[in-house]
Chains A and B, each alone.
Chain A
Amino acid sequence: DAGVIQSPRHEVTEMGQEVTLRCKPISGHDYLFWYRQTMMRGLELLIYFNNNVPIDDSGMPEDRFSAKMPNASFSTLKIQPSEPRDSAVYFCASSRHHNSPLHFGNGTRLTVT
């Protein structure tokens, strides 16, 4: 079991650029979550999927953020255009059921200058 795999580990970009974060969940997990972690706001749930279908995207900050899950083994979180306030660590997590323990990736540290 390779765990949840996120790429890249670090991303530095300039304001206005498009950023795409990637996630491969654990095989057999039906739920996939995207979280954002900052010092000021802590851990925030952005969106989650069940069987590749978005269930709750109420945590997505604004229209600049979008997430997709084209198949059971891949998801992306896109920010376009990026802003300095988007700087944070973005985590992907997966779970077998909605109330099972979450398995987190090691995160992508995004810096927008």
Chain B
Amino acid sequence: AQSVTQLGSHVSVSEGALVLLRCNYSSSVPPYLFWYVQYPNQGLQLLLKYTSAATLVKGINGFEAEFKKSETSFHLTKPSAHMSDAAEYFCAVSPNTNAGKSTFGDGTTLTVKP
């Protein structure tokens, strides 16, 4: 069994400020973890993924996430927010086994203020 909790359905930051979007997971087997971004009227796009290699994962658009097994977390960060980062962000977990499927969090809407 697996689940994902995204803390905070809405996050607002000023342009240039740090972005921190929180994701905690539970999984009965070693997980693969993903962050996706969804812009208005579009499907989800992969930002980055963790698949049991390096715990600090770098993705597109300057985002990165760190896998912390002890905290069961996979928080998404970006040092300096840009107006174009305004979107909805989804964390997802998949089992690192031969079967199963991704489970998505409820999403966090990021607003960037000028």
Residues of A within 8 A of B (CB): 4, 33, 42-43, 45, 48, 56, 91, 93, 98-99, 101-107
- Report yes or no: B94 in contact with A99, Cβ–Cβ below 8 A: yes
Please report the C-alpha to C-alpha distance between residue A91 and residue B45 in the assembled complex, in whole angstroms. Answer: 12
Residues of A within 8 A of B100 (CB): 98-99
User: Which of B43, B95, B96, B97 is A93 in contact with, Cβ under 8 Å?
Assistant: B43
The interface residues of chain B lying within 8 Å CB-to-CB of A107 are 41-43
A104 and B95 within 8 A (CB): no
B10 sits at the interface (CB 8 A) = no
Contacts of B67 in A (CB 8 A): none
Q: Quick check: is B25 within 8 A (CB to CB) of the other chain?
A: no
Number of interface residues of B (CB under 8 A): 24
Q: Distance in Å from the Cβ of B91 to the closest Cβ of chain A? A: 11
Query: Does B63 reach chain A (CB closer than 8 Å)?
Result: no
B74 at interface by CB-CB < 8 Å: no
Residue of A whose beta carbon sits closest to that of B41: A106
Interface residues of B in 64-105 (CB under 8 A from A): 90, 92, 94-102, 104
Distance between B63 CB and nearest chain A CB, rounded to angstroms: 14
Contact assessment for A106 and B42 in the assembled complex, using a CB-CB cutoff below 8 Å: yes
Bound CA–CA A99/B102 (angstroms): 7
20 interchain pairs, CB-CB under 8 A: A42-B106, A43-B104, A43-B107, A45-B101, A45-B104, A48-B101, A56-B101, A98-B94, A98-B101, A99-B32, A99-B94, A99-B97, A99-B100, A101-B46, A102-B36, A104-B44, A105-B43, A106-B42, A106-B43, A107-B43
